């Protein structure tokens, strides 16, 4: 839409003094907007997008006309609806996609709140549905939180109107391999599938070559139809501004390959694409059946892959001979010698190791005090404990940290 509008001889009066606000043309120059739709319908496309990409709060507030969101969205949808009905036939109906762009203020960057975006996207969706859009296309999504606000705002508007139209979401992946906020395509797909949208895809930012691997991921994992609307290549800056180098035949060939390999359900073009680009795309893929896909289904982690120690096997399912986890070692205690009794009473772990009380410097062997110094050499051994020398353990010990210890003989129990 923008490429075609820039080619027309529009004046500042056509924009009501709001230069660059293409959405105002929906009320000042509906003939110019209708002519763009006609140019694309004439080459055989099935659907067109409304001139409402920027009919949202963040864009229109820059011109101080954000109170006209619903008005401009509805006007844009009515123009497209009228032209679609004009070109429709019994054998080839034509459709209208209500375009919803991301705007210039993103919630993940703190520019605005999720609730504000949801409410204002709802106003835009309300105008699109009232104007006759067959589906809502949330496109050029750079922030998953912004996409969520647009989807939920659209559904709230549809609930208010008592109608239901499909909602498609198309994200933009930069040449860096991620969305603007850093999300990669797998995270985007997971988020959008949870929102239960009707189709997911890619558009803008790059040409078809840079989109191929991201489309491959969507084709492999998406349970929803997959869409693709690339730019006519990466933009090239020149003295007359940005231009797009990809020729119509090259884009048509790319779409033919994508449709064959990835089972795309909706194809088209974004920045830099002209009616000639779309004419050759229609010739390449128009009327073909969508190639079947077999997307993988992600389930819960299988038990065999669980490695976290927090996921313990139920006791009832353990083997009788399977080793059991020993109880954690009790907190170190101060021995009763420090309290005036004759031996350290703190329980010793198994296998029995020499433990030294940090207060009285006595060393114990399984609960019996030994005259061995706390600084005994690692090779020193205490005499084996006889059952008759055992002294009942006391429960009156206070907490204290143990010092370092030496290993007890393996035969000691």
Residue 344 labeled ligand binder? no
- Boundary of a domain, candidates 285, 306, 321: 285
Quick one: what percent of the chain has pLDDT higher than 90? 65
Domain that residue 155 falls in? 2-285
- Inter-residue contact 196 to 223 (CB < 8 Å): no
Same domain? For 123 and 220 the reply is yes
In-domain check, residue 164: yes
For residue 298, name the pLDDT band (cuts at 50, 70, 90): low
Name the least confident of 105-109, 239-243, 246-250, 305-309. 305-309
Domain count, the chain: 2
Same-domain pairing of 256 and 372: no
Assess whether 9 and 125 both reside in one domain.
Answer: yes
pLDDT average, residue stretch 379-398: 44
Residues 277 and 343 in one domain: no
CATH number for position 171: 3.20.20.330
Instruction: Specify burial of residue 3 (Cβ count, 10 A radius: 0-12, 13-18, 19+).
Output: middle
The pLDDT score that the predictor gives to residue 160 is 97
Q: Does the CA dihedral 81-87-91-92 come out positive or negative?
A: negative
Decide: pTM greater than 0.85. no
Tell me which of 325 and 134 has the higher pLDDT: 134
Assign residue 272 a region: left if phi > 0, alpha if psi is -120 to 50, beta otherwise? left
Residues 225 and 336 in one domain: no
205 and 345 within one domain: no
Q: List the beta strands (DSSP E) in 62-220.
A: 95-100, 135-141, 167-171, 199-203
**Residue 39 domain-assigned (yes or no):** yes
- The answer to whether 204 is a known ligand-binding residue is yes
**Is 360 annotated as contributing to ligand binding?**
no
Does 275 share its domain with 348? no
Domain boundary among 267, 285, 303: 285
**Are 278 and 151 within one domain?**
yes
Instruction: For residues 280 and 337, state if they share a domain.
Output: no
Q: Both 63 and 200 in a single domain?
A: yes
């Amino acid at each position: 839409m923008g490429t075609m509008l820039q080619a027309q001889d529009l004046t500042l009066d056509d924009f009501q003094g709001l230069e660059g606000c293409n959405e105002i043309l929906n009320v000042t120059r509906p003939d110019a907007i209708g002519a763009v739709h006609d140019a694309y319908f004439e080459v055989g496309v099935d659907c067109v997008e409304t001139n409402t990409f920027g009919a949202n709060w963040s864009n229109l507030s820059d011109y101080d006309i954000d109170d006209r969101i619903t008005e401009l969205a509805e006007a844009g949808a009515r123009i497209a609806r009228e032209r679609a009905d004009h070109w429709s036939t019994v054998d080839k109906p034509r459709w209208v996609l209500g375009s919803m762009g991301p705007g210039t203020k993103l919630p993940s960057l703190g520019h605005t709140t999720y609730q504000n975006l949801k409410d204002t996207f709802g106003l835009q969706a309300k105008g699109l549905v009232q104007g006759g859009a067959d589906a809502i296309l949330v496109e050029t999504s750079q922030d998953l939180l912004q996409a969520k606000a647009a989807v939920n705002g659209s559904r709230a508007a549809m609930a208010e109107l008592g109608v239901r139209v499909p909602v498609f979401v198309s994200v933009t992946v930069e040449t860096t391999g991620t969305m603007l906020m850093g999300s990669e395509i797998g995270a985007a797909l997971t988020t959008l599938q949870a929102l239960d949208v009707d189709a997911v895809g890619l558009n803008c930012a790059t040409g078809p070559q840079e989109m191929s691997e991201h489309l491959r991921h969507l084709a492999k994992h998406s349970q929803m139809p997959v869409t693709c609307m690339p730019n006519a290549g990466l933009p090239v800056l020149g003295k007359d501004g940005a231009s797009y180098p990809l020729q119509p035949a090259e884009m048509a060939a790319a779409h033919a390959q994508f449709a064959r390999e990835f089972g795309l359900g909706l194809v088209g073009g974004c920045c830099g694409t002209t009616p000639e680009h779309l004419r050759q795309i229609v010739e390449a893929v128009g009327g073909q059946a969508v190639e079947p896909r077999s997307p993988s289904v992600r389930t819960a982690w299988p038990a065999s892959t669980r490695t976290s120690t927090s996921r313990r096997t139920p006791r009832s399912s353990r083997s009788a001979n399977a080793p059991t986890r020993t109880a954690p070692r009790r907190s170190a205690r101060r021995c009763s010698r420090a309290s005036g009794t004759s031996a350290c009473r703190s329980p010793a772990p198994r296998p029995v190791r020499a433990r030294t009380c940090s207060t009285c410097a006595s060393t114990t062997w399984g609960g019996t005090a030994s005259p061995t110094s706390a600084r005994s050499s690692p090779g020193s051994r205490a005499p084996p404990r006889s059952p008759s020398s055992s002294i009942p353990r006391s429960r009156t010990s206070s907490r204290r940290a143990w010092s370092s210890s030496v290993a007890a003989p393996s035969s000691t129990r």
